[in-house]
Amino acid sequence: MQKHTDIATYTEITPTAPIYVGQHGGRAKCLQRLVRLDMPVPRTIALPFDKVQAIAAGYPPNTAAMIAEFGEDALISVRPSSEDPDWGGPRAILNIGMNDARHAALCETEGPATANALYLRFIQAYAVHVARLDPDMFDAPILTPCADDPDLSKALATALRAYEDETDEQFPQDPARQLGEVLRSMARAWAGTTARLLRQAKGAPEDAGLGLVVQQMAMGIGSGESGSGVIQFVNGTTGEPQITGRYKSQSQGRDALGAKSEAIFLNKDPRGTSLAEILPEQFEALVRFGKLGRERLRDEMQIEFTIENGELVILDAVRVSRTSAAAVAIAVSLAEDGIISREEAVLRIDPRALTEMLHPQVDPEAERDIIASGIGASPGGATGKIVFSATAAQASLAQGDDCILVRRETAPEDIRGMHASVAVMTEKGGMTSHAAVIARGLGVPCIVGAHGISINHRDKILKLPDGRFFTEGDIITIDGTTGEALAGAAKMLDASLDGAFTTLLEWADEFRDIGVRANADTPTDALTARRFEAQGIGLCRTEHMFFEDDRLTVMREMIFAKQPEDRRASLDQLLPMQRADFIELFKIMQGQPVCIRLFDPPLHEFLPSTREGMRELAESLDLPLSDVTRRIANLKEFNPMLGLRGVRLGITLPEIYDMQAQAIFEAAVEASKHGDPVVPEIMIPLVSAQREAELVKTRIDAVASAVRFATGVEFTFRLGVMVETPRAALRAGDIAQNAAFLSFGTNDLTQMTYGLSRDDAGRFMSDYVQQGVFSEDPFHVLDTDGVGELLMIGADRARDAREGIMLSLCGEHGGNPESISFCRKAGFDYVSCSPYRVPVARLASAQLAI
């Protein structure tokens, strides 16, 4: 006890006082900076974290000494000062020191209306936040003067009586006791479980401390022109220079913000009186302080001020709260004005926040009637009519209507429907389920694993747990950023890819030391990849190309072919289409590397699953229905993710890879005629044994020779292997002998390392994360301990076997900052991610290198 009462318990904030963010909090430090800038800040003292912690534990603060600092007659306020203002803190309490005697004195000097208002506010705050009495009894309405009680004297009497009735004691009169109780209640509020959980959710550490600042009140209520307000010098939504804020006569604290209709404007405004008109000098001073704050505090600040009988007093300054777009605009403008360095501007932006800028967003302030929530798998917001099938989505697009595809889960055959939709929601699935991966690639907002909803595809009904239901054509909004689906059309904010965004990323590229490519399957993806300045394509999944209408039929014929010659005949029809796809991609990428993955999925994904579909297929192939159903049954696998797919198809039905290689080489020859020589990269999926790579390599080399011979053109290419199975990582040394590069496919590698289906994990992932079984969804953030160890083993063994072998990662983790950090430390050459995550990856890798 002795220890805490005797130590220097508080520090007056002067220009040279030892005030530290890590001991007294951000607000205390900021106030010291304002003092150093000679701003008219009232006398303030700061209590450090350890003192506040001791107060919470029951040690009595020496409040008599504090009161003496301010003088017996002063009124004072207490505000929280946590290390990071975003972690919040208890509410400020104003007018401490008001009591009957002070009230009587103020009645004399300022009149009863002022004295009553000040006392009443304090009683209200004290009763609710310190004595923890029922807020209803001390509600705001009793603070408002009315015809019956113009100077609030009745309200004051009522409040004092209510306090006494509830506590059986008189309202505390001793300022030292008042202050002691306020400090104790604020300290305890911070130590409470709810407050701790709330701030931890905002990123605060478990032991985050709270400092408190005790400040002499400036009287916004009183004689002459008195009032309070806030002012800022940029628009918090766009980051553009603009003076905004509010001022309200006869008010305190943040009153002006609560009562917009009564508040007056700051700048000259045709809509009404402004502070600039009624107090031009004070307004000029505020503008000067704003400029000074920006230059010396090196950020855009919102200044809280009071006018006390015509005199300007600065109470506080906090960073202007801002959208991601504004954060980028502000950081770039500060760097351009030489106030911060480019490095600092790059470091100030949370890479994930960039994603918000790439898509229209649901206005965070908008009303939300939440009908479902799940995993926000692809960010952005979109409104449209519900459709329950890919066909309905295409029909809707044809009619020019925006639609939202709602499915239990999606399969490759839904891709065209996803293309036609403005957003997607699935009942099942996790971060790497089909819907999630495709939606991110398309830049379409998406929610997966929307638990609680039930979808009846046949009757076209979406049912909610609360009994409500939606049918086809009903309008909903998908917020893929928060993972919430909303009834009706919500208010949107536009995407903001302006000059500041481009400038910031240009600066980021100057610092970064790991490459960033894009996963791009279509010309649209490739164009997006270029727009976001990816350094090539790191993964082109070719199977999506076979789902186009005309190709699907040929593909199915190929699957039903009994003999290799028949299979080859079908593939011959697909060859020119594939070649055209690749020519287009090569042209768009203009000589940048393009890494094409050979065919990967199990064949059954190309076959119909309904009886109706099978009948149609039998008709189009001119086969008996029984043949079709038999073949489909033959292809059925118990665990298709671990069955006949990837290189296993390449080994057992080699004609598919032959055709793809031929298409790639012929396209490279063709595209090279029009521009820089194209050096295609080809990679083999799902390898687990060296011999697989060896066999495929032999055939592909043969195809290359044949194309060189047929075209008379020399070309080079690189053949690599995707490391997606734990065995491939362990045997990377052998495999590297037949591979010019290795690309770690961490979606499958995570699935196989955990033995956890990427399509089913979403159902229970949130339970697992909540209970701390996994710290994060390993399909989202790379599991550096387990999967990461396999990556390291694979990388080391591959490098030992083949010096300088190119290494990369192309799973969904490629767009995740923590995972990029791992790849960079492991010395990978590049990461590849969905085109819409390229900006995030560029910025995150720059931050890692600074």
Give 97 or 811: the residue with its C-beta nearer to Mg ion.
811
484 binds Mg ion (CB under 5 A): no
Residue 229 CA to residue 243 CA, distance in Å, equals 13
User: Binding site annotation covers 694?
Assistant: no
**Of 30, 446, 810, 833, which is the active-site residue?**
810
Residue 820 CA to residue 834 CA, distance in Å, equals 14
Give 212 or 436: the residue with its C-beta nearer to ligand PEP.
436
Smallest distance, ligand PEP to C-beta of residue 747, A: 3
| Piece of 132-140, 396-404, 551-559, 741-749 that binds ligand PEP (CB under 6 A) | 741-749
Catalytic residue status for 810: yes
Catalytic residue status for 434: yes
Residue 759 binds which entry of Mg ion, ligand PEP, none, with Cβ cut-offs from 5 to 8 Å by kind? none
In this chain, which of 83, 605, 670, 748 binds ligand PEP, going by CB under 6 A? 748
605 binds ligand PEP (CB under 6 A): no
Residue 539 binds which entry of Mg ion, ligand PEP, none, with Cβ cut-offs from 5 to 8 Å by kind? ligand PEP
Total residues at interface with ligand PEP (CB under 6 A): 11
Smallest distance, ligand PEP to C-beta of residue 834, A: 11
Residue 792 CA to residue 170 CA, distance in Å, equals 70
Residue 128: which residues within 8 A CB-CB, separation 6 or more? 135, 138
- Helix residue ranges per DSSP H, 168-247: 175-191, 193-201
Smallest distance, ligand PEP to C-beta of residue 774, A: 18
Six-digit token string for 368 = 């939300």
In this chain, which of 229, 236, 650, 745 binds Mg ion, going by CB under 5 A? 745
User: Binding site annotation covers 132?
Assistant: no
| Piece of 48-56, 375-383, 444-452, 744-752 that binds ligand PEP (CB under 6 A) | 744-752
3-state SS class at 499: helix
Q: Return the bridge partners of 775, or none.
A: none
User: Binding site annotation covers 814?
Assistant: no
482 binds ligand PEP (CB under 6 A): no
In this chain, which of 125, 183, 810, 843 binds ligand PEP, going by CB under 6 A? 810
Sign of the dihedral defined by the CA atoms of residues 68, 170, 252, 303, in that order:
positive
Residue 673: which residues within 8 A CB-CB, separation 6 or more? none
Q: Report DSSP letters for 530-541, one per residue.
A: HHTT-SSEEEEE
Residue 635 CA to residue 307 CA, distance in Å, equals 80
Q: Report DSSP letters for 261-278, one per residue.
A: TT-BBSS-BTTB-BHHHH
Residue whose token pair is 């001119």: 622
Binding track, positions 582-601, relative to ligand PEP; x by CB under 6 A: ------------------x-
Residue 356 binds which entry of Mg ion, ligand PEP, none, with Cβ cut-offs from 5 to 8 Å by kind? none
Give 475 or 641: the residue with its C-beta nearer to Mg ion.
641
747 binds ligand PEP (CB under 6 A): yes
Smallest distance, Mg ion to C-beta of residue 722, A: 7
| Piece of 99-107, 280-288, 437-445, 747-755 that binds Mg ion (CB under 5 A) | 747-755
759 binds Mg ion (CB under 5 A): no
CA angle 663, 667, 669 (to 5 degrees): 125
> According to CB under 5 A, which residues from 804 to 843 bind Mg ion?
none
Question: Which residue's CB atom is positioned nearest to Mg ion?
Answer: 748
Distance linking the first and last C-alpha atoms of the chain: 46
In this chain, which of 748, 759, 777, 783 binds Mg ion, going by CB under 5 A? 748
Cα pseudo-dihedral 143, 144, 146, 149, rounded to 10: 20
Binding track, positions 528-567, relative to ligand PEP; x by CB under 6 A: -----------x-x--------------------------
538 binds Mg ion (CB under 5 A): no
> According to CB under 6 A, which residues from 422 to 461 bind ligand PEP?
437
Sign of the dihedral defined by the CA atoms of residues 711, 713, 714, 715, in that order:
negative
Distances (CA, A) of 841 to 430, 445, 534: 21, 19, 10
> According to CB under 5 A, which residues from 113 to 132 bind Mg ion?
none
Q: Return the bridge partners of 22, or none.
A: none
Binding track, positions 169-208, relative to ligand PEP; x by CB under 6 A: ----------------------------------------
Give 227 or 811: the residue with its C-beta nearer to Mg ion.
811
Residue 52 and residue 180 in contact, taking contact as beta carbons nearer than 8 Å: no
Smallest distance, ligand PEP to C-beta of residue 647, A: 13
Residue 378 binds which entry of ligand PEP, Mg ion, none, with Cβ cut-offs from 5 to 8 Å by kind? none
Residue 840 and residue 355 in contact, taking contact as beta carbons nearer than 8 Å: yes
**Of 24, 129, 359, 434, which is the active-site residue?**
434
Single out the residue of 280, 277, 253, 252 nearest to residue 264, CA to CA: 277
Smallest distance, ligand PEP to C-beta of residue 823, A: 13
Which element (helix H / strand E) includes 742?
strand 741-744
Which element (helix H / strand E) includes 314?
strand 311-319
Single out the residue of 773, 771, 787, 769 nearest to residue 729, CA to CA: 787
Give 29 or 440: the residue with its C-beta nearer to ligand PEP.
440
Q: At what angle do helices 746-754 and 787-801 cross, to 10 degrees?
A: 120
724 binds ligand PEP (CB under 6 A): yes
Residue 120 CA to residue 136 CA, distance in Å, equals 15
> According to CB under 5 A, which residues from 699 to 728 bind Mg ion?
724
788 binds ligand PEP (CB under 6 A): no
| Piece of 203-211, 237-245, 448-456, 738-746 that binds Mg ion (CB under 5 A) | 738-746
Smallest distance, ligand PEP to C-beta of residue 579, A: 22
Encoded amino acid at 572, one letter? D
Residue 160 and residue 194 in contact, taking contact as beta carbons nearer than 8 Å: no
User: Binding site annotation covers 748?
Assistant: yes
Residue 772 CA to residue 270 CA, distance in Å, equals 57
Six-digit token string for 635 = 């292809």
745 binds ligand PEP (CB under 6 A): yes
User: Binding site annotation covers 597?
Assistant: yes
The alpha carbons of the chain give a radius of gyration, in whole angstroms, of 33
3-state SS class at 563: coil
Q: Is 203 exposed, middle or buried (0-12, 13-18, 19+ CB in 10 A)?
A: exposed
| Piece of 254-262, 712-720, 740-748, 768-776 that binds ligand PEP (CB under 6 A) | 740-748
| Piece of 151-159, 548-556, 729-737, 746-754 that binds ligand PEP (CB under 6 A) | 746-754
Residue 681 CA to residue 542 CA, distance in Å, equals 13
Instruction: Give the residue numbers annotated as catalytic, written as ranges.
Output: 434, 810
Annotation: binding site for Mg(2+): 724, 748
Contacts with ligand PEP by CB under 6 A lie at: 437, 539, 541, 600, 724, 745-748, 810-811
Annotation: binding site: 541, 597, 724, 745-748
Contacts with Mg ion by CB under 5 A lie at: 724, 745, 748
Annotation: binding site for substrate: 541, 597, 724, 745-748
